[in-house]
């Protein structure tokens, strides 16, 4: 087998206690330089080593595509996540197998995308201004790009040409993200997509896949219609990210940075993911009821009118809490079935749910407005997020088209069993299991 141009993996969840580096260590781990690493990762590295041994001496695969949720700062405090990342890259020696990393953030490491934007659009220009002592070219602060896709262009017939929108070559990883590897390998960052542009005019879209679920498009679903007239050309990747980024960073970063609360959030998340109702839910709902009751106080209204309004408001709050509990119970059941949150079980129903298919179609509608995809036929989709392997399943879309879907699975599980399928990108931009 010829060396692939790139390999795509996702959902390693470095920082999750049940991710690629389990904490505590569990059966099936391999110890690398004192670090317990899931056997699924070690087995994949061994397969790569066999492939490289059959190639010319010193050969490496050009690109390792980390398709989201590689680093988990939604669960671990960021200082702990960074220390774990440095130890991990020292132990696994990715740089011996790959020339560079392309990182496409997901929801659990979305905040790193926010930091990359702040570094390149705000901090670096201001540092240049400070160093220059005067306004000069390249020192102007600019607005955040929000969406900045990468392309691998196979249409020239030779080695594919790599590019990131509005980022000038050479792509040497001149951003802080390369420091997450200890500087061992350059890390370039694009978001939310990598587009494989093939010679036959077809395209494969590589993206994490969190935009395929309502939790991560909630704000654009709520407000998109009301501001639609102000979006030139319709909803695209820029506005999809612009509208949803704040909530994503709150849920999948901020809550993990608040000391003891982060462990509580993790426990609640794990139980909901298993379809269990956490006891904390009752306490949270009770606290919410007291807050709403205090906010709707009629203490200053005297007589029967105040008492009636107080009674009526209490009953409305009670009814609202009952409705909220029913919604939560339904959401927990959906999670148990693998429909609401990624699960550690081998769920195989994500593409059988019409709502998910509709979300995929909506996302592709946004993606097709990207300059690199205009007029192209999106034939394949590679995603992660759902923690289930999908080995090239044909999906019928509502517009009559067909999409071939792949999912790389994950290395997250409470036990030693994982569902992990790295995907190779060949010299023509085609996808296959690696």
Strand ranges, E, within 145-267? 150-153, 161-164, 187-189, 193-197, 202-207
CA nearest 381: which of 146, 215, 196, 109? 196
CB atoms within 10 A of CB 197: 21
Q: What per-residue confidence (pLDDT) applies to 300? A: 66
Distance CA 264, CA 255 (A): 10
pLDDT for the residue 249:
96
Give residue 19's pLDDT. 93
Helix 279-295 and helix 303-336, axial crossing angle in degrees, nearest 10: 150
- pLDDT score for 345: 46
CA angle 404, 200, 196 (to 5 degrees): 60
Domain boundaries, the chain: 6-255+343-433, 275-336
Question: Burial, 41: exposed, middle or buried (Cβ in 10 Å; 0-12, 13-18, 19+)?
Answer: buried
What's the DSSP call for residue 234?
S
pLDDT score of 265? 73
Give all strands of the β-sheet with 6-9 in edge-to-edge order. 187-189, 98-103, 61-66, 6-9, 423-425, 431-433
Element housing 354 (H / E): helix 354-367
Of 408, 412, 411, residue with least CA distance to 6: 408
Residue-level pLDDT at 134:
61
What pLDDT score was predicted for residue 62? 97
**The pLDDT value given to residue 346:** 44
Whole-number Å distance between alpha carbons of 144 and 269:
31
pLDDT average per 10 residues of sequence, the chain (434 residues): 92 93 89 95 95 92 98 91 97 97 97 97 90 67 95 93 95 96 98 97 96 92 80 88 95 86 74 79 85 77 76 87 82 67 58 90 94 89 95 87 94 82 96 94
């Amino acid at each position: 087998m010829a060396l692939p141009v790139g390999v795509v993996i996702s959902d390693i969840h470095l920082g999750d206690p049940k991710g690629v580096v389990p904490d505590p260590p569990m059966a099936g781990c391999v110890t690398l330089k004192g670090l317990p690493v899931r056997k699924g990762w070690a087995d994949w590295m061994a397969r790569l080593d066999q492939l490289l041994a059959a190639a010319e001496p010193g050969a490496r695969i050009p690109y390792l595509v980390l398709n989201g949720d590689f680093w988990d700062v939604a669960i671990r405090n960021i200082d702990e996540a960074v220390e774990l990342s440095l130890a991990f890259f020292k132990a696994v020696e990715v740089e011996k197998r790959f020339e560079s990393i392309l990182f496409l953030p997901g929801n659990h490491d979305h905040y790193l995308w926010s930091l990359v934007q702040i570094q390149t659009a705000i901090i670096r220009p201001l540092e240049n201004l400070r160093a220059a002592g005067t306004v000069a070219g390249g020192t102007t602060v600019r607005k955040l790009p929000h969406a900045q896709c990468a392309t691998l262009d196979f249409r020239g017939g030779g080695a594919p040409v790599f590019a990131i929108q509005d980022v000038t070559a050479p792509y040497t990883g001149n951003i802080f993200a390369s420091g997450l590897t200890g500087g061992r390998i350059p890390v370039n960052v694009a978001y939310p997509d990598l587009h494989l542009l093939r010679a036959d005019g077809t395209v494969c879209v590589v993206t994490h896949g969190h935009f395929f679920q309502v939790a991560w498009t909630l704000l654009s679903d709520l407000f998109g219609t009301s501001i639609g007239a102000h979006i030139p050309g319709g909803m695209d990747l820029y506005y999809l990210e612009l509208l949803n980024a704040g909530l994503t960073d709150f849920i999948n970063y901020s809550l993990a940075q608040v000391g003891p609360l982060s462990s509580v959030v993790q426990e609640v998340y794990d139980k909901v993911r298993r379809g269990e109702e956490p006891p904390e839910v009752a306490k949270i709902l009770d606290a919410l009821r007291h807050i709403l009751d205090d906010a709707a106080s009629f203490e200053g209204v005297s007589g029967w009118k105040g008492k009636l309004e107080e009674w009526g408001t209490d009953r409305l709050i009670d009814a609202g809490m009952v409705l909220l509990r029913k919604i939560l119970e339904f959401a927990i059941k959906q999670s148990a079935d693998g429909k609401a949150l990624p699960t550690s079980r081998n769920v195989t129903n994500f593409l059988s749910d019409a709502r998910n298919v509709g979300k995929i179609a909506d996302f592709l509608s946004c993606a097709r407005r990207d300059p690199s995809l205009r007029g192209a036929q999106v034939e394949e989709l590679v995603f992660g997020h759902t923690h289930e392997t999908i080995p090239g399943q044909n999906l019928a879309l509502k517009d009559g088209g067909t999409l071939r879907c792949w999912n790389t699975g994950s290395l997250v599980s409470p036990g030693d069993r994982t569902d992990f399928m790295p995907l190779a990108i060949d010299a023509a931009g085609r996808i296959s299991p690696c």
